[in-house]
Structures are given as C-alpha cells and as structure tokens.
Amino acid sequence: MAFVYHRINPSGYMDQTLEIVNNGPSAVIPTVEITPVDRTGTVLPGVTVSTAYGTDQGKMVVPARETSLDVLAFAGRDAANVADVRVTVRKTADVTFPAAPQIVEAQAVNEAGQPTAKFGPFDAVVLTNPNSEKVSVGVVCIIWEQPPAGQPQQARTVIPIGAATIAGQHSATVRASGDARNGCGSLKTYFSPPT
C-alpha cells in the first residue's frame, strides 16, 4: 500500500484527505498509525489525529487495485502547522471483497422514506449498492469547520450513523439517532468490514 496526504484539495472536494493506494491482488483492512509533521518533516508533538472512516482502527476496507480515501482531523496547539503525515501500517487483514467496486450512494430520508433537503434534519439514510456483488458499507455524518482563507476545511465532528451489508443492486436503510438526526454537512460512505 502507498499513502499520499492532501492538505487542501480543489473546490468541491474534501480537504485533509489520506489517499490509500492498494495495488495488491486482494482487498485489505489496514490498521495504520498516522504521525503529523510540519513543512520541514519535523514531527509535531502534542498534535493528535482522528480519522473519519477508521483506518487507524481497522474499520475500513481498501479494495484491490483501487485508491481509497480517509478524512483526517488534527487537534492540538500546532494543528495549523500540519503540512503532511507519515503513515505506518501496524497490521493488515485480507478480506473477500469485490474488485473495483462503485461507490455506494447515501440519501438522507424522513420518517416516510422521502428524501430530505441537503443539510436538513433526517430520520434515516438509504444506501444504494450499484454493484452486482454484495458490499459492506459504513456511513458517517461530517460537520465541517469554516476555516479562514488559505486554511484547509477540517472535519469538526464525525458522527457514525451505522453500517450495512447490501446485496448487489439493492438498497438498505440505516436509522439515524442522536445528533446525526439534526442535519449534516456531508453524508459520506466508505467500504467497511463485513457485518
């Protein structure tokens, strides 16, 4: 596996992403350690890293011959000085998973199953699998910070909504609870270990 950190991405794309390239023959579940560094490559002590999809906890599947993303957030006095990250793979587990899967779409819906307005309150999320084979998917609600000009937009809060294993060409509904029901900056899906 190879890793590339993108501090700021073009408009319309998430900032602070970790690109994970799996050129191997099988899907893997990595558990990684992420170390933030400044523009000189010096480790920033006291800066902590969290992930939206859980690559640091073995909660994300990286399909074979694919590039996947996780979203990073930094905390600590020197968090604004993070220019790059070093990634160490602590362990991996092979997993049976379709090759080159298409992204599973997430649609927020109300109690009646009708789509809700973007960013508005919702009761559940409908996950639609466009693939011919079953896949397991996690879904999170990301609430974004509004940074000053020139700074990356960071995930302020990541609220896990749930996970589902979805048959090919089918949908599954995951009920929302707690703060997630109040609305969301972004609903994001990622491939997760089978449930």
**Whole-number average pLDDT of the chain:** 96
Q: To 5 degrees, how large is the angle CA 172–CA 157–CA 141? A: 15
Residue 138 lies in a domain: yes
Domain that holds residue 45: 2-95
On whether residue 110 sits in a domain, the answer given is yes
pLDDT digits (tens, 9 = 90+) for 89-99: 999 999 999 98
Residue 75 belongs to some domain of the structure = yes
Q: What is the pLDDT of residue 161?
A: 96
Question: Which band of pLDDT confidence, cut at 50, 70 and 90, is reported for residue 118?
Answer: confident
Residue 41 corresponds to which amino acid? G
CA atoms within a 13 Å half-sphere pointing along the CA-CB vector of 164: 23
Check: CB of residue 21 under 8 Å from CB of residue 72. no
Q: Which of 49, 76, 95 is the last residue of a domain?
A: 95
Please give the tally of structural domains in the chain: 2
Same domain, 122 and 39: no
At 17-39, the pLDDT tens digits run 999 999 999 999 999 999 999 99
Q: Alpha-carbon distance 2 to 20, whole Å?
A: 6
Stated pTM of the model: 0.94
Specify whether 88 is located in the same domain as 122.
no
Whether 191 has a pLDDT exceeding 90, the answer reads yes
What percent of the residues of the chain are helix, what percent strand, and what percent coil, each to the nearest 5? 5, 50, 50
Examine the domain organization and report whether 76 and 110 are in the same domain. Answer: no
Would you say residue 79 lies in a domain? yes
